[in-house]
Every structure is written in structure tokens, then in C-alpha cells.
Structure 1
Amino acid sequence: MQTQIIPVPFYEDTLVMIGKDNEPMVAMKPIVESMGLDWRSQHVKLTAKYEATMVIITMVAEDGKNRDMICLPLRKLPAWLYSINPSKVKPELRDKITRYQEECDDALWNYWTQGTATRPGTMTVADRLRVHRARHDVLNKLEATTHAIKRQALYEELTELSTLLGYPAPALTAVGSTEPDEPTAITELWDAIEELTNLGIKTNHSRDLSMIAININEVARLAQENKIPLPSCQDIRRNIPLSKYNPYIKNTVVNSAIAGKSIKCYIFKVRRNGLVDAQ
């Protein structure tokens, strides 16, 4: 079962959630102790009321060792907090607990009288989980690619997702690596081939999955027919040796996997996850 650490703002503090099977859980002992409450007595109280929903999750503690943590679903946390007597917590936490309990009153009133209860300007935990997953996916894609234009586009997505969560975006140079920019003609060539592929139009004549074999005249014709911008064939051929995203190998005749006959093509090595295949 997958777990994910999720920081969630709680007034001036940040609670650390554990995303387990798409449901956020809260490690209770750190919260109880930070409020100055006795863990043993609260453990008895939690077990008596929430035993059916409590789970034990193994986490790495501050000493680097694995510890079993008693966790409560986040949806149950308000009920537990509402049961706390503010006079029994640390003085510096009393106003916060009272404020939260009063907010619970307002939320219950709004739910029963208006049919909904939301806090304006904040994301739900489910929303934050979705944004966290999207941010993680973008980070992986950014780390995997060395294509300068694609890296910039992914970085813009990463920045927007980080802003939604209230996090600073890491520096672009800190995630993955890049290579010197390719000539514009080659970048536009690969972009055109990608657009053609998305339209279901095949351009790769190679029978070897680790290679790309393209006929420039054919790509130019297909791009024109589908109104996809492309530099002149002369400009593309002049810059083909400088292709870095898919490194250029040679210009030769291949037995086409598309047409089933011999066609002269430019041959390139396929990139996988930002790296040249070792095949």
C-alpha cells in the first residue's frame, strides 16, 4: 500500500498527514504531545471511540528508525479536537483550540442550514492530494527530459502547482539537467513529427525500436498537408548533424516498416526518459 507525506496548514502550524490509499491520516501522538496533553490518557480515549477507524502506519522517526504510529483519519480529527477541554492544553494553544471549536460550530450550522460548509479561499484536503500528485508527476517528467523547450514548459507547470500549495518552486537547474539548445530547425522538426504522430500519421520507417528513420521530403509533405509549420528541407538537412534530443547517426537506405520497401532515410538514436538507449 502506498503512503505519501502531505503537509497541511492548520492555522499558524502545519500538520503532517500520511496519505494512505487515497485517504489522509494523522499521526496522533505528535499532535497530542505538542498540545501538552498526556498521550496515555488520550490513547485510551482514542481507542475507546475510534478503534474501528484507527490504523498503525510504520514511519521513519527523527532517529532514523522505523516506528509504528497510531493514526486517525483526518476526517475524524475535528471530532477529537472538539472533545478537548481548552483549559487542559498548553496556554499558548488555548486560543487556537477555542477558535477551531468555534469554527466547528459555524461549519455544522452552515451544513444543516445551507447544505454545505466550506472555508473560503482554501483547498480541500482532497484537492491538495490531487495537486501534490500532479506536482510529483511534473517533477518526474522534468527530471527525465533534457529538451530545453519541454523543460521550460514543465517548469512553468511546476511553478504553478507549487504556488497552489504555497511552496517555493525549486530552481530549474536543480531538477534534472539540460544540454545546449538544438538548432531551431531541428527542434521544429521533432515538434512537427510529434504533432503528426498525435494525428495518427506514421513517419518512422525504422523496424528497430531503438532507432528513428525519417525521410525529410515525406515529413515536409505531411506537415504541409496538415498545416503544421516546418522550416525548409534545406535548413533541416544542414542542421541534422547537430540533433541532440535524438542523436543523428547516418543517412542510409532502410527497409521501411511503413511502406514495406526501400526508402532513403536519416537515422537517429531514440531517446528514452531523457537518456540515449544503451541497446
Structure 2
Amino acid sequence: MQGQLMPVQFYEDTLVLVDQDKKPFVVMKPLVSNMGLVWSAQFVKTAEKFGAVVSEIETTGADGKQYRMTCLPLRKLPAWLFSINPNKVKPELRDKIIRYQEECDDVLWNYWTTGTAAQAGSGSPNVTQQIALSRHRIALFKELQRSRNHVIRATIQEEITQLSAKLGLSVPDLDNIEIADPLEKDILADFWAALRHLDGKGVRYNHAKKSTLLAIRIDELAAQFEAHGITIKLDSAITNALENSSSPKYVDHSQTVHNELKRCGIKCWVFESLPVPVDLSFGHGNHC
């Protein structure tokens, strides 16, 4: 199926393949994050070095919504992996970077061609691997509960079955795992309403130069919320929901935006456009 996401277990991590014109592509952001690298920097590097082959592929996320993801052809992944010098990363990341370079593309290719993610030296997992696989299995159960797309749910169910067999565990009735209520939508409704309240007070919080973008800093908003009596706690529930926002569409939470007032670059959470209910006339008072 075009644009179908295929999660692939790689040790304690989950990588993602996507089918584009019957060819395997790797979704780059989760791979980069798993390796402990900074996505914003690697996104620029990937665009510069692999611009001729990198693609923005529209896929269906675990929430059933459509997203555009930066993807690299699987055949080009080794070149990207070996563009990273293990001697120039943090010492605690070095072994993992080398493991990705030596095994990652083979595991993904094996999954694409056979449907299984056999790894070098695979067999009965040791204690450390059992713990990692067990945690991954629990994470898959949670992902299954969140997902509303039947194709994604079927893929997750298949991987849970494979993991359970590897761990010697029974497989529960996966079809009876109900879909969780979409709490994120309610959380973000209050958050965007709080921004509209700040608009009404004339508070300037949008750092984006373009009126079609929204660039915010969570620490600044926390101070503004407190100053104006807004009792929304900007905790992990909010930030997790913001990363899954589709209206406005989430872009990045570490993108550097130039602030003309401060004459410096600042890192912001960036979204493609403002929510429809927000008064766009406030854009005339943007920071930059």
C-alpha cells in the first residue's frame, strides 16, 4: 500500500519504513532521534548531501491523520550512516552509532524483503535484550490503543505477536484492545484558547516573521500564562499533544528563528499556520 508505515524493531529502538512506488524508504526523524542525534541539524545535512533523492512522503500516522515525513531511499541509508564520524559524537553515543552503521540497513532490507527483522547474532535474547524487548512490547500495546487506522493497527498487532513469541509470552486478544479517547484534542483546545486570550490582551508571543507561521517559546508562554491568570500547566501532556498537532500543523520544536528585536537566533516551537479561531491581525505585532 502506497505510503504504508512499517515499524521495524532494531534492538531497543523502533525504525520506520514506508512504501513509495513499491520501493523502500526510511523515515529519517525517528532514526536520527534513536541514535541520539539532533534532528534539526541532521535535517539540514540530509537536505544538502542527499537532496537529489530525499523525499517528503505523505503517510498515515498512528492517529490516522496524514503527515508529510522526510524519507531517504533505503539504498542510500548506508551512505548517510557512514557520513557520521563516531569519533566526533558524544562518547556515550559512539557504540550505538557504530551498531547502526554495521547492522541497521541489513535489518531494514531483511524486513522489506522477508517481513522479519532478523539481526546479527539473533537467537534467544539475553537479559538486557529481554528487558528492552519487553518495554518495546508494552509501548506497542499503548500505540495500538492510540491508533485508529486499521492498517497501522494490523501492523502493530503483527509485531506484538512476533515479540511475544520471541519472549515466550502469550498473546492477548489484540482485537479487543479498545481505542483510547483522544484527550490531546481537548488539551490543545484549551491551549489555543489561552493564546486567543493573550491576543486579546495585546501580548506578543509569536516569533515568526511570516504570518502563515506560528513560532512560540514554551518558557515565555508559561510566564505569560502566569502573569495573566491562565491556569494551564505546560507539562509533558501539552508538549506531547503539540508534537501531534495537525491544526496548526506541527513542524519542529527546536527550529532557530531570527528575532529582529533581539538581533539573535532563538529556538522555537514552529507550526505551519495559526489556528483558524485566532485573530490574524495580531500578526502585525509579531516579534520579527
The TM-score normalised by the length of structure 2 is 0.35
Relative contact order: is structure 1 or structure 2 higher (C-alpha 8 Å, sep ≥ 6)?
Answer: 2
Larger Rg: 1
The TM-score normalised by the length of structure 1 is 0.36
